[in-house]
Amino acid sequence: MTGLSYIRAFCAGAFMLITTMGAAMAADLENTLYLETKDGRVVIELRPDLAPRHVERIKELVREKFYDGLKFHRVIDGFMVQTGDPNGDGTGGSDKGNLPPEFSSEKHLRGVLSMARSASPSSANSQFFIMLGDSDWLDNKYTVWGKVTSGMEFVDMIKKGDSGNNGSVRDPDSIVTFRVGADVEKKKLLSGSSVPVQAGRLNFFRAFSVASRAKHPSI
């Protein structure tokens, strides 16, 4: 293989790698949520493989900014943090229809997010909870749709409720903002605060071309 052929093959391989990495990153961000609390950001990985309809609902409500400002109305130390009720007392939900269950064998471990509901398995709507500890008795009874990948320390800081009153919180903390990761990063790109993948590709090939010409003036 000549020097020129080698360089062309290298560039083609690098381009495919960068393109694949960019597509994978975009897919991951579409299934990532940023939950901002008063203390910091909680990053959540969505699980459409477990509960596609619930993940779709959560993202739909997040993009409508439904959750912004809603209270963490029920918080039981060592058990879970519950939110997603516009009434702020566990009695409300969105104006969308309730969802049928998507129960799975996924364990309710610390950091897992699952859908709250009433006695009916098909009553999940907008309320959800984040596990503060492990509770295997919830397995196969509530729909798991995500897990915290970073910022669990900020979940631990959410104001706790009265254990004698089913975790009801007096003057509760609230969600600051709730966003889809892909939307946040796209906004950063448009504002110029981050380098787009396409620009990264161009910069890579420009730099490689300059270096190649320095070594091979005929290229």
Q: Which of 168, 170, 175, 134 is nearest to 154 (CA)?
A: 175
Q: Which of 143, 127, 142 is nearest to 93 (CA)?
A: 127
Task: Label residue 26 by pLDDT band (50, 70, 90).
Answer: low
Structure tokens at 205: 């090939």
pLDDT score, position 163: 85
- Expressed as residue numbers, the domain containing 139 is 32-175
Do residues 112 and 138 make contact, with C-beta atoms less than 8 angstroms apart?
no
Using DSSP, how many helices (H) and how many strands (E) does the chain show?
5, 8
For residue range 121-144, what is the model confidence (pLDDT) as tens digits?
999 999 999 999 999 999 999 999
Distance CA 67, CA 75 (A): 17
194 shares its domain with 138:
no
For residue range 63-95, what is the model confidence (pLDDT) as tens digits?
999 999 999 999 999 999 999 999 999 999 999
Burial (CB count <10 Å: 0-12, 13-18, 19+), residue 171? exposed
Do residues 161 and 169 make contact, with C-beta atoms less than 8 angstroms apart?
yes
167 shares its domain with 203:
no
Structural domain total, the chain: 2
12 shares its domain with 40:
no
Q: Which of 76, 36, 80, 72 is nearest to 174 (CA)?
A: 72
103 shares its domain with 60:
yes
Burial (CB count <10 Å: 0-12, 13-18, 19+), residue 113? buried
Query: What is this structure's pTM?
Result: 0.77
44 shares its domain with 118:
yes
59 shares its domain with 164:
yes
Query: Nearest-5° angle of CA 15, CA 18, CA 20?
Result: 105
165 shares its domain with 65:
yes
CATH code (residue 164) = 2.40.100.10
23 shares its domain with 63:
no
64 shares its domain with 89:
yes
77 shares its domain with 140:
yes
Q: Which of 67, 93, 74, 94 is nearest to 179 (CA)?
A: 67
Q: Which of 100, 76, 73 is nearest to 169 (CA)?
A: 73
55 shares its domain with 10:
no
Query: Distance from CA of residue 162 to its chain's centroid?
Result: 29
192 shares its domain with 125:
no
Residues of the chain with pLDDT > 90: what percent?
A: 72
Distance CA 32, CA 85 (A): 21
